[in-house]
Amino acid sequence: MKKILLSLVLLGTSALNITNAAEGNIDAGKTKSAMCAACHGADGNSLVPMYPSLAGQSASYIAKQLADFKSGVMSGGKTGRVDPVMGGMTMALNEQDMRDLGAYFSAQTAKAASGETSELGKKLYFGGDVERGITACIACHSADGQGMSQAGFPALAGQSATYLKSQLEKFRDGSRNNDKNAMMQNIAFKLEDAEIAALVQYMSTIK
């Protein structure tokens, strides 16, 4: 009986370790994030408009993007997400490193957005354009721009207009295609330059 109980305890401990191993470690992520600070800020709030802020972003989304960047290099651009800078940065990372970085940055507080908003951007964000088949952004990214982490949709609040504009344009021209079921590509393809400008202006000021 004692042997059976001991076996169950060991199995339970083993299962617990496996579960924990599949999750990110915030402290480990903080240590590993030193290489990210120059572009994304020590606390995940980027001071450079062309680079995204990672603070408050979902851990799973961050880990997925890191994996996609690495896949982009390993596959020669056939899969994943192609970026010459991030591709190189991720080559030395393993899956646990990616989870740890995701855990650290997701635990940081995103700074409040600022600047002038856009009424046209707000209208598109909340209502889309049914006649043109443009889905409202709120459907995936939520009213407060915090996204839906369980569904894999990222937070947009706190991102700079410069970064958001570049990503919408990449989705539109197909140079970024790691979106689920090509959802963003299909939407961005229908957006005109003025609409993208208005959208990112609004999204960058969501509080």
The predicted-structure confidence for 23-64, as pLDDT tens digits, reads as follows 999 999 999 999 999 999 999 999 999 999 999 999 999 999
Q: How far apart are the first and last CA of the chain?
A: 59
Mean pLDDT of 90-107: 98
Residue 64 domain flag: yes
pLDDT grade for 13, boundaries at 50, 70 and 90: very low
Q: Which of these, 159, 146, 143, 151, lies nearest to 183 by C-alpha position?
A: 151
Judgement on whether residues 41 and 101 belong to the same structural domain of the protein: yes
In this predicted structure, what is the pLDDT of residue 70?
A: 98
In this predicted structure, what is the pLDDT of residue 170?
A: 98
In this predicted structure, what is the pLDDT of residue 22?
A: 65
Look at the block and give the residue holding tokens 């410069």.
Answer: 162
Judgement on whether residues 44 and 69 belong to the same structural domain of the protein: yes
Using a pLDDT cut of 90, give the percent of the chain over it.
86
Residue 177 domain flag: yes
**pTM for this structure?**
0.87
Q: 44: which residues sit within 8 A by CB, 6+ positions away?
A: 33, 53, 54, 55, 56, 57, 104, 105, 108, 110
Judgement on whether residues 123 and 102 belong to the same structural domain of the protein: no
Check which CATH number belongs to the domain holding 42 and give it. Answer: 1.10.760.10
Q: Of 75, 106, 137, which closes a domain?
A: 106
CA distances from 182 to 27, 99, 189 (A): 35, 24, 11
**1-15, 24-38, 65-79, 179-193: the lowest-pLDDT one:** 1-15
Judgement on whether residues 157 and 195 belong to the same structural domain of the protein: yes
Residue 2 domain flag: no
| Alpha-carbon gap, residue 200 to 169, rounded angstroms | 11
Judgement on whether residues 160 and 189 belong to the same structural domain of the protein: yes
Whether the per-residue pLDDT at 128 is higher than 80: the answer is: yes
Whether the per-residue pLDDT at 7 is higher than 80: the answer is: no
Judgement on whether residues 157 and 86 belong to the same structural domain of the protein: no
Domain span at residue 81 reads: 23-106
pLDDT grade for 163, boundaries at 50, 70 and 90: very high
Number of domains composing the chain: 2
The predicted-structure confidence for 129-148, as pLDDT tens digits, reads as follows 999 999 999 999 999 999 99
Whether the per-residue pLDDT at 2 is higher than 80: the answer is: no
Judgement on whether residues 76 and 131 belong to the same structural domain of the protein: no
Residue 7 domain flag: no
